[in-house]
Amino acid sequence: MRKANLNRTIARTLVAGLCLAIVLLLVGIILDLAGRASSAGQAASIGDMTQALVALEPAGFYYLGLLVLLATPVSGVIALAVGFARRRSWIFCSISLFVLAVLALSAYLGLRG
């Protein structure tokens, strides 16, 4: 029963992240079709993204949508770590945290260039 609940929590997390990402990408496409072309081309950083979002430019929504998509499996792993910790399943909690650490390392290495 507890295992089924954890599985459902992860499934819900993944669906919520995917749906949010799709909505953001669709908003970007609608803005693109409405002729709100980005003055700065594509958003290349979080700073660019924020500016583009404030200006309602499609590039900001594309960047944020793809970022949310990338955050979806990360959220799933966080939910797993929490779920295993609440069940006092410390070995699998540690395994989830290790996977999370590698995800964080890859983001860091990507940002560092």
Partner 1 sequence: MVGLGGGVFMVPALALFLDVPIHQAIGASLLAVVATSATAAAAYLPNELANIRLGMTLETFTVVGALAGGLAGAILSRGVLSGIFGGVMVIVSVYLLVRPHDAGAPDEAGELGALGACYSDLSLGRTVRYRVRRLPVGLGASLAAGAVSGLLGVGGGFLKVPVMVLVMGVPVRAAVSTSSFMIGVTACVSALVYFFRGLVDPVTAVPVVLGVAAGAFLGSRLAQRVRSSVLTWVLAFVLFALAVQMILAAAGISVR
Task: Please give the residue ranges that form the binding site for partner 1 (CB under 8 A).
Answer: 3-4, 6-8, 10-12, 14-15, 17-18, 21-22, 25-26, 28-29, 42, 44, 59, 62-63, 65-67, 69-70, 72-74, 76-77, 80, 91-92, 95-96, 98-99, 102-103, 105-107, 109-111, 113
Report the length, in residues, of the chain.
113
Q: What is the closest distance, in whole angstroms, from the C-beta atom of residue 51 to partner 1 in the complex?
A: 16
Task: Report the residue number, 54 or 68, with the smaller CB distance to partner 1.
Answer: 68
Q: What is the closest distance, in whole angstroms, from the C-beta atom of residue 39 to partner 1 in the complex?
A: 15
Q: What is the closest distance, in whole angstroms, from the C-beta atom of residue 24 to partner 1 in the complex?
A: 10
Retrieve residue 102's tokens.
């590698």
CA 37-39-42 angle, 5° bins: 80
* Contact (CB, 8 A) for 23 and 67: no
108: left (phi over 0), alpha (psi -120 to 50) or beta: alpha
